[in-house]
Structure 1
């Protein structure tokens, strides 16, 4: 009888979680219902997966609506019908100009139900019905449809459970309509009667119309849906060539063809490994998965795109030979069967990173080359602070009050009634799906049409995207291909090109010569001393300190560091233990011998994902399949799943049977639990380390060119300013943009680095294009007049160029140029010049002497670039009297010091008690790093106040050769007043 059930995936409308809907149905004795979310199928497969546990037979469909206006409900009679429903819904979600019609298209294997009170037609087809609500019964008695009861069914919407849920629903509708709750029209919300009620109560309401009850039951009974969640075989495209036998022969051929490139002189161990892997890949049905990845990357190489293949797939020598990854699993002793074994049902992870500039083309290629392709969605949920803001607007609170509530700066009992409601309902809707987004890189390539499983929507980039997320996709046996983007690869690729044009006499760089890089002494020096600013994955303050603590100067050490730095290892306390065992061999004797036997390479410390599997298998007695389930469950995606909890229970019972002390078992479990969801697979870390070595090579030998490429790719961990500073520290001559020398991107000529025009705030891209097009066509500009004659430009755009000194080649003061520009350029500028027969006579204006200072230039640069090109210490109101430098801090270990530093970045974290503390990174006057620790009392008393120079007082601490200052006091130093607007009669004005 329940033909219109909604979950909270009826976005900003429904209130019930899928599991809650099933539980309520079970409690009310409901044995079947139709799930029909509004224009959405996100919950469908999850409901089908969970329903048997609750003794419920689900039917799938969609509630088609324009806004809140219900047009019709379409139910799937079977799986084919579900595909039809998904395709039909997708046609509207792909084209926002289409409205859902009042009459549904006739589709095979579907049933359509129109709301009785809105139906305008006179006839119904065999598959069409009218849905009658309780409130429609009196009207029905006097309707012609009362004589055609065979076409009538019960239409009772399940929207909420309690009064609170209905209030939540109304608030969601107000948020969706961006209006005050008091202004929300009834047409935009559901009915208070849309509550889940027991079958007996529903039948009692329709007691005078028994035919409707029977029709509804019969209609539900005529629908069946069946999906296999056993995941025995993947549902990805089964054969790359459309023939599985041919697929295997191709994989085998490609594998042996790759030997010459990877292993010129392969030994028997390599041949044996190849045979073993090929057999398992074939037996598990993963052949096409490997071949599809190979094809994608073959295309990438044909286009000259840089990429990095990482993830657990890097454990495979087949992946290495197919050039899916650049990690040699033989060298690193990566065990293939740890991630692909006969117990494992899902294929290995291949995370393929491309430059951010190349990924869209790769995605386009995949959609053109492979049928049944879609991106995967992510559910963007209501976060608490955002919910407070949304609900504050809905209740009409003033902005100041909304800000206070969002900050948490209140005592609940002291709030007025409206503010208390905001906090109360923000807690309720926290975690509700708000809208569907796009997974960072997940792509599905299915054997069946994607609509067999889900409807799709069309985001702005124009690639069809599923309505379910990766967890649901895996439940049904669809495993994603991860096509990701990062700026690190763009930096490496662009740096190679910059070196080519700045050093044309040098031979081409083989950036893939990783074996040579691993032995390079310059690279080892950069690693040992953590001088890796700009380098992929090793430039952050935390990584910089870890490298110093570990004294890493080799590839394997960097591979371990790449995983040790992950949150889980650090939070478990095992990062410190790993450092101690790494540096002090005697410390390794304290490790439990069983763990050392399992993980000799990491001295008994779990560092990689493989370590979780090893410990679960050898220490906890789990099978490899169970151990892998444990590892995956730790990521949080499956932590609450029943199967995961069973494996956890088995781990503890096995340890107890083996006589392992309970305290030890609990500690091992704590270590597993603390980081398994964050740790990298060893092959994944190794892949990261390869890219790190590529960037380290460029930084070691071509630091200026590499910094230029870093700036052009949007930086990295830090702001652009630090990379400009780093280039200066390596001898670069940093120059502001110039209309004759600069391009949109930053360029380098020998050691002269001209910042790109694109870095200028508010300079329009069309202005840059016009300048470059004119310069390329007719040569450089020789004066401001010449520029104005040739480039159509508004006075506002011209002022930006003059203020940043982009006309300094004229050797004229920029204040004079500004006056002249205002006299010669109209505010309104045509797109193109109108040709004239005669040129107007130039008029020279006599201007007074208008000098400008370096300090004025610095403030113009701050306004236009975001940072000064001079030393920021030169802008202090009073010169810094701190003589202490960062390089001398190690002489003051345990002592109190005072030092001035220019703030680079901060990192906020929380103590075990939930209090906020910070880590700070500063530059001293010489440009060297100062690292600080701000514990909660100090962080609260002396907070960071934005960019600037701070006077830092604190105690110098040293741990594993790393120097930090534990801050006891900090203040931001005042700088001079902006001289461009200063009152020259009052020199004491300051800016803080």
Structure 2
């Protein structure tokens, strides 16, 4: 009887979770229920899946509305009708300018249409169209002509809330949606407070005077049936690449063997056996098209010279390696294929494909053009508590100060006023409600059937159709995503090779994919051993830099392990230190539990990879491969809940107890396993990251300045642009501020000189960057300030930025004089374009006073416009720097307390096991070398970081595995010199210049031209 039910996926309207809606229906004796969310199908598939648990027949539809105004309801008779509803709804979700009409313009097949009854309104109803009569309409119906046409009437009892609290929540959500105070919320924006579910018999009693309506509604609902297969036995991804399964497999085999000679000079029996084994399983599991679709995507990427990395467990496949989906040799690393695909696995394998952030959109567009049924996957952005407090605080009209207090959690709930208590109460209640739909980071569906078979799609600003359901729901229905991701590291690598090509035209082209050569390179080994990998993907972070120093890794396999050892799971379990000990000191390996050493000889009995955890669960815990895979998925957070994970945990302990294993050993090993939850890397994943690191390391080793230029242009990585500029200088680079005759939008390099680009200037307009470069390309270099003003339309504010950063230094005129001159010659508002004249007019030249600027003033201008000075920051100290202590000397002071000055580069904030805050700091000393610090809770509280600057650090020098850190005892930020540009000292020449400039501006405003010294 319920044809119009809303879940909380009627965004900012409904207040019932789909599962809760079914539970309410079951409790009220309802055995058939229609879910018709407002302009949304997010909950539909989950609703059908969950309905089986409540023994309720599901019906699907959509409540079409403009805002809160209901136009009509579409109910699907069957799956085809659901597809048609989704296609129809998607038209409006793709074009925000389209308004939903009062009735569908064209017939929508296999659907029922229900219009809300309005007294006095005329309706011309087709055979599949009905009027919905609400309980409040029953009296009016008795006196309406429709009382004699009851065969076209059905019950329309809307359900949007569970109870009064649900209705109150609804009002708050409507106020949030309309960005208005609750007291000013229009009644037209609210639902009826009576829109709650009543017991089935009570509903029938309400309509007992109109038995025909009850019969019509039952008949309509009986005619509707929806069916989806949630068994996941057959994936619904595109089944064939060539429209023929046999042809698909022949193509896959051909491409696999075609790639042999690219990867292996002399492939042996082991290689051929591995290929045949994998091909057999891939065919048996019907995953052939999945490999071919990925191959097609990456073939296109290579044709466009796009850099990419195929990572994840897909690196365990030699077929993927030969198809150039990955660059990881699974034979070399002994990666077992079963981690990627095994006979127990129902869902398709998973390749994570990383592209440069600049190239990913084109790859996505190619996928949409190439494959017929394609869509991005949505994510549900939910209400978070603190954000909800702010939203509801605005709805209730709370002052900002009170909202700040509530979001910080510093209150006693009993001491709050009534409004604040309501804010807290309902913020807690709506926490987790879906708020709006977003886009998954990289998930794309390529379906065998139209995407609208499963739900509607909306059109986000990126311009690609996106489902209204997330990846978990997609997997439930057998749709498995292709991961097309982006990262800046690949952009750096690609751009670096291009920069090398123009800065070193004499060099042969770089084969950046020659990983085997890189692994043997001595320069790369030196960088790794000494942790000199700034800019090189993830190995540049302070934690990774220190780990490399401790391990003294200089080989590929060691780096693969290090990239997984650094993960929180290994560190949390206490096994990171154990791994370092066993890696550095072979005699320590004997102390490892024999059973673990036997299972994981390569990692010395330490669980480092997901595969290691699975091995232990299988060989030590007696779990079968299916249970081990379940454990793996639980660790990576891919379960809808942790119920199955806990079930496997119990099985693990039961098996160990049955085998007579010591309880203490079992508990310790499980502790190590559990610490991996959500953090462990697959070995192939780590190997893929290591490949990209080797590419970066090669460029850093042989072309450091070119590589740092590319790093700067791609906005670095872990650190800020300033550190990468510093790193370039450490490699003998000469750093120049932007210049109008040399610079481009991005940084460029000429020889050893790096010219920063205009894009690094704060508040400088991107349109002007392009105009400057285009004008220079078209008509040659700029001669002087007048020539620039003639050729580029620019405001005084924008021109001031260029002058202050010294972009006209080629003229030889001091920038303070140029700034004066510019303010006299240019109006506040620039012309949109210059008009070319037949004769060039003579310029009026003003006699300006002789002004000067110091290097110190230049540094402060650079800090203002670039965010950092181009000089050594130690030169800006108020008291001249005299401390001779350097980072390179710290080893000599082990266990001694010293004082050293450092320029703050990065901080990491964390908490101890008992919840107290502590910090790790990264500084540069006067020579530009790193100083790493540890700030335990008492020191962190007493001597906090106070922003960017130079700190005097006192602490004990600690050395562990040749890695030096300072345990800070006290820390004070040193004062820098007063900004000379705004000094009030009358003797300061800058102040005199500024005063003179202002005096002259006043003179110019009051004097006639004859009084001024003007030359033509």
TM-score, normalization by structure 1: 0.97
Residues 553 and 14 (structure 1 numbering): CA distance in 2 closer, same or farther, change over 3 Å? same
Alpha-carbon offset, residue 814 of structure 1: 0.4
Alpha-carbon offset, residue 207 of structure 1: 3.0
Alpha-carbon offset, residue 238 of structure 1: 0.4
1:54 is matched with 54
Alpha-carbon contact 2:795-2:829 (below 8 Å) kept? yes
Secondary structure of the corresponding residue to residue 112 of structure 1: strand
Q: Which moved more, 1:936-945 or 1:419-428?
A: 936-945
1:82 is matched with 82
Residues 673 and 109 (structure 1 numbering): CA distance in 2 closer, same or farther, change over 3 Å? farther
Residues 651 and 24 (structure 1 numbering): CA distance in 2 closer, same or farther, change over 3 Å? farther
Distance 1:881 1:146 in 2: 98
1:209 is matched with 210
Alpha-carbon contact 1:546-1:565 (below 8 Å) kept? yes
Alpha-carbon offset, residue 645 of structure 1: 4.6
Residues 970 and 385 (structure 1 numbering): CA distance in 2 closer, same or farther, change over 3 Å? farther
Residues 495 and 420 (structure 1 numbering): CA distance in 2 closer, same or farther, change over 3 Å? same
| Matching of residues 87-236 of structure 1 within 5 Å | 87-104=87-104, 105-117=106-118, 120-236=121-237
Residues 756 and 671 (structure 1 numbering): CA distance in 2 closer, same or farther, change over 3 Å? same
Secondary structure of the corresponding residue to residue 99 of structure 1: coil
Whether 1:889 and 2:854 are equivalent positions in the alignment is no
1:218-269: per-residue Cα shift (whole Å, max 9, x none)? Answer: 3222211111111112111000000001000000111111111112211111
1:725-761: per-residue Cα shift (whole Å, max 9, x none)? Answer: 1101111111100011111110111111110011111
Residues 864 and 918 (structure 1 numbering): CA distance in 2 closer, same or farther, change over 3 Å? same
Residues 612 and 106 (structure 1 numbering): CA distance in 2 closer, same or farther, change over 3 Å? farther
Q: Which moved more, 1:888-897 or 1:766-775?
A: 888-897
Alpha-carbon offset, residue 678 of structure 1: 1.9
1:930 is matched with 931
1:285-323: per-residue Cα shift (whole Å, max 9, x none)? Answer: 000000000011111111111111111111000001111
1:710 is matched with 711
Q: Which moved more, 1:190-199 or 1:510-519?
A: 190-199
Alpha-carbon contact 2:635-2:680 (below 8 Å) kept? no
Whether 1:813 and 2:814 are equivalent positions in the alignment is yes
Alpha-carbon contact 2:34-2:59 (below 8 Å) kept? yes
Alpha-carbon offset, residue 40 of structure 1: 1.1
Q: Which moved more, 1:665-674 or 1:534-543?
A: 665-674
Distance 1:336 1:513 in 2: 24
Residues 845 and 292 (structure 1 numbering): CA distance in 2 closer, same or farther, change over 3 Å? same
1:973 is matched with 974
Secondary structure of the corresponding residue to residue 295 of structure 1: helix
1:87-116: per-residue Cα shift (whole Å, max 9, x none)? Answer: 111111011110111113421111122222
| Matching of residues 886-965 of structure 1 within 5 Å | 886-965=887-966
Alpha-carbon offset, residue 985 of structure 1: 4.2
Secondary structure of the corresponding residue to residue 602 of structure 2: helix
Distance 1:716 1:957 in 2: 28
| Matching of residues 599-614 of structure 1 within 5 Å | 599-614=600-615
| Matching of residues 34-45 of structure 1 within 5 Å | 34-45=34-45
Alpha-carbon offset, residue 609 of structure 1: 1.5
Residues 572 and 181 (structure 1 numbering): CA distance in 2 closer, same or farther, change over 3 Å? farther
Residues 645 and 232 (structure 1 numbering): CA distance in 2 closer, same or farther, change over 3 Å? farther
1:693 is matched with 694
Alpha-carbon contact 1:376-1:469 (below 8 Å) kept? yes
Q: Which moved more, 1:475-484 or 1:105-114?
A: 105-114
1:569 is matched with 570
Alpha-carbon contact 1:633-1:639 (below 8 Å) kept? no
Residues 562 and 140 (structure 1 numbering): CA distance in 2 closer, same or farther, change over 3 Å? same
Q: Give the number of aligned pairs.
A: 988
Residues 667 and 282 (structure 1 numbering): CA distance in 2 closer, same or farther, change over 3 Å? same
Alpha-carbon contact 1:83-1:453 (below 8 Å) kept? yes
Residues 852 and 79 (structure 1 numbering): CA distance in 2 closer, same or farther, change over 3 Å? same
Secondary structure of the corresponding residue to residue 537 of structure 1: helix
1:9 is matched with 9
Secondary structure of the corresponding residue to residue 230 of structure 1: coil
1:27-80: per-residue Cα shift (whole Å, max 9, x none)? Answer: 333222111111111111112122212222211111111111111111111111
2:73 is matched with 73
1:273 is matched with 274
Secondary structure of the corresponding residue to residue 905 of structure 1: strand
Secondary structure of the corresponding residue to residue 749 of structure 2: strand
Distance 1:677 1:128 in 2: 51
2:63 is matched with 63
| Matching of residues 793-808 of structure 1 within 5 Å | 793-808=794-809
Secondary structure of the corresponding residue to residue 37 of structure 2: coil
Whether 1:246 and 2:269 are equivalent positions in the alignment is no
Alpha-carbon offset, residue 398 of structure 1: 1.6
Alpha-carbon offset, residue 986 of structure 1: 9.5
1:781-807: per-residue Cα shift (whole Å, max 9, x none)? Answer: 121112112222221111111010000
1:6-31: per-residue Cα shift (whole Å, max 9, x none)? Answer: 22211111222222222232333322
Residues 119 and 347 (structure 1 numbering): CA distance in 2 closer, same or farther, change over 3 Å? farther
Residues 166 and 772 (structure 1 numbering): CA distance in 2 closer, same or farther, change over 3 Å? same
1:887-930: per-residue Cα shift (whole Å, max 9, x none)? Answer: 22233333333222221121222222333322221112221112
Residues 380 and 928 (structure 1 numbering): CA distance in 2 closer, same or farther, change over 3 Å? same
Distance 2:78 2:726 in 1: 64
Secondary structure of the corresponding residue to residue 71 of structure 1: strand
1:147-191: per-residue Cα shift (whole Å, max 9, x none)? Answer: 222222222222222332222222111111111111111111222
Q: RMSD of the alignment, in Å?
A: 1.9
Alpha-carbon contact 2:389-2:423 (below 8 Å) kept? yes
Alpha-carbon contact 1:511-1:694 (below 8 Å) kept? yes
Alpha-carbon offset, residue 958 of structure 1: 2.4
Distance 1:805 1:145 in 2: 82
Please list every run of 5 or more consecutive structure 2 residues that lacks an aligned counterpart in the other structure: 991-1016
Alpha-carbon offset, residue 569 of structure 1: 2.2
Q: Which moved more, 1:479-488 or 1:150-159?
A: 150-159
